[in-house]
Amino acid sequence: MDGITTPSQPNNLEAFWMPFTMNRQFKKAPRMLVSAEGMYYTAQDGRKILDGAAGLWCVNAGHRRPKIVEAVQRQIFELDYAPAFQMGHPAAFELASRLVTLMPGDLDHVFFTNSGSESVDTALKIALAYQRAKGEGTRQRLIGRERGYHGVGFGGISVGGIVTNRKFFGSLLTGVDHMPHTHDKAHQAFSRGQPEWGGHLADELERIVTLHDASNIAAVIVEPVAGSTGVLIPPQGYLQRLREICDKHGILLIFDEVITGFGRLGASFATEYFGVMPDIICTAKGITNGTIPMGAVFVRKHIYDAFMNGPEGAIELFHGYTYSGHPVACAAALATLETYQEDGLFQRAADLAPYWEDAVHSLKGARHVIDLRNLGLIAGIELEPLQGQPTKRAFDAFLKCFERGVMIRTTGDIIALSPPLIIEKSEIDHLFTTIREVLESIE
């Protein structure tokens, strides 16, 4: 075909620069997935692989769900693309209307993005623009948290607190400060659910307000449960105290629910689970069950309304993406919401959570395990690092689990688990039995 060349080696791995991957290690011994259904991937060698990570925290309803597949096929046939700038298509408005019914209070407007990273950068920009729109343009500082992960955009890595994600990329955004993270093994090790110790750490926000003055602070962003940094569970009362401090000083509170959204904790979102309503919520991942890239930012009514006071003939927010509210992504998201509802998956996760918790904590005393953390259908298994070789022990466990037909995720020396919400108790047993056996087998 004109303009298209056929590669001389169909299985050549060199051209693809893989994200967050040890490229040289992988390409010497690749781990290829070729299909998936339900709770299982199929590897290139034909083996079934139990998905203990919901892909990358995103396949909440399990793989290859018929309703989602059919909706995507129909939509591509009917309308493959429509611009979102000064134009619209019905599915975007229908999806936004459906999504806000999952939210408490007046979180009733949605801005569509294509990923969690874009959702975070969108939320930060909305927060800054909102403060200016209401006449408080000096509020330009953003407050994140140590060990926070908010994607890989410059805004996200600026408010994020993972050193390896930050150190290569210069000064990042200016005017950013960080609260301390909430994890302390000396006081919290092997807690079941939310730790009792640590709620007072929210008061560090008061110290930062004193340093910069509230008149200069636009927003605070946190993950309700920090996922990619190793499953850090918020201490009891911590999120409630952050809300109180933000209200006191007129600061917006942003929840990054890219991971916790869409049933992961056994509720629609963490805002419902914890009973704390932020001003802005960032989502992605589970919104389409990982089928098509998509994200969404929810904002409270007073934020949206602040932008709607100018002339009707003027654009209110100079921000957006070519694929905001993409028709195929909207179709996938609508079918995903229907699947969640029809299968009762959020309640199913809540019902499974106690069994999951017991399975997680059955690893107490297992070889190399120094801490266990859980909430909803999330778990963190922290391992004692090999001396002088940080991250190696957990990655060795990842490789051994894959060899035994189980896919886990690791971050540092922590195994992070977040299975599809359709997981059965027998599969939970198999997952943790395999991990225990692997931990016994590695150095």
Residues 167 and 288 in one domain: yes
pLDDT at 166 over 90: yes
pLDDT at 4 over 70: no
Residue 6 lies in a domain: no
DSSP strand E in 54-134: where? 107-113
Q: Please report, for the domain that includes residue 210, its CATH number.
A: 3.40.640.10
Residues 282 and 354 in one domain: no
Give, in degrees to the nearest 5, the angle at Cα 97 between 96 and 103. 90
Burial of 388 (0-12, 13-18, 19+ CB in 10 A): exposed
Q: Please report, for the domain that includes residue 411, its CATH number.
A: 3.90.1150.10
The interaxial angle of helices 345-361 and 327-343, nearest 10 deg, is 70
pLDDT at 250 over 90: yes
- Per the structure, the complete domain to which residue 382 belongs is given by 23-52+344-441
Q: Burial code of 57-70, b = ≥16 C-beta within 10 A, e = fewer?
A: bbbbbbbebebbee
Residues 284 and 359 in one domain: no
Residue 43 phi/psi, 5° resolution? -80, 165
Residues 283 and 138 in one domain: yes
pLDDT of residue 8: 46
Token code pair at residue 120: 């975070």
Residue 63 lies in a domain: no
pLDDT at 7 over 50: no
Share of the chain above pLDDT 90, in %: 97
- Placement of tokens 């179709």 in the chain: 331
Which of 5-19, 48-62, 175-189 has the lowest average pLDDT?
5-19
pLDDT at 379 over 90: yes
Residue 432 lies in a domain: yes
- Placement of tokens 């093994």 in the chain: 185
Residue 12 lies in a domain: no
Domain boundary among 343, 375, 395: 343
Residues 96 and 208 in one domain: yes
Residues 260 and 297 in one domain: yes
Residue 226 phi/psi, 5° resolution? -75, 120
The two most distant CA atoms of the chain are separated, in Å, by 68
pLDDT of residue 10: 55
Residues 203 and 272 in one domain: yes
Residues 380 and 329 in one domain: no
Residue 61 phi/psi, 5° resolution? -95, 10
Residues 64-111: pLDDT tens digits?
999 999 999 999 999 999 999 999 999 999 999 999 999 999 999 999
Residues 299 and 370 in one domain: no
Average pLDDT rounded to a whole number, residues 378-398: 97
pLDDT of residue 310: 87
Residues 276-291: pLDDT tens digits?
999 999 999 999 999 9
Average pLDDT rounded to a whole number, residues 336-343: 98
Domain boundary among 343, 364, 396: 343
Q: Tell which phi-psi region holds residue 269, choosing left (phi > 0), alpha (psi between -120 and 50) or beta.
A: beta
pLDDT at 49 over 90: yes
- Higher-confidence residue: 359 or 12? 359
Q: At 3, is the pLDDT very low, low, confident or very high (cuts 50, 70, 90)?
A: low
Mean pLDDT across the chain, nearest whole number?
A: 96
Residue 385 is classified by DSSP as P
Q: Are strands 414-417 and 378-383 parallel, antiparallel or unpaired?
A: antiparallel
Supply the pTM of this predicted model: 0.96
Domain boundary among 323, 343, 363: 343
Domains in the chain, number: 2
Residues 313 and 170 in one domain: yes
Average pLDDT rounded to a whole number, residues 139-168: 97
pLDDT at 300 over 60: yes
pLDDT of residue 1: 43
Residues 381 and 402 in one domain: yes
Give, in degrees to the nearest 5, the angle at Cα 424 between 53 and 268. 65
Average pLDDT rounded to a whole number, residues 368-380: 98
Average pLDDT rounded to a whole number, residues 17-39: 97
Token code pair at residue 114: 């294509």
Residues 144 and 192 in one domain: yes
DSSP-assigned letters across all residues of 27-70: HHS---EEEEEBTEEEETTS-EEEESSHHHHT-TT-BS-HHHHH
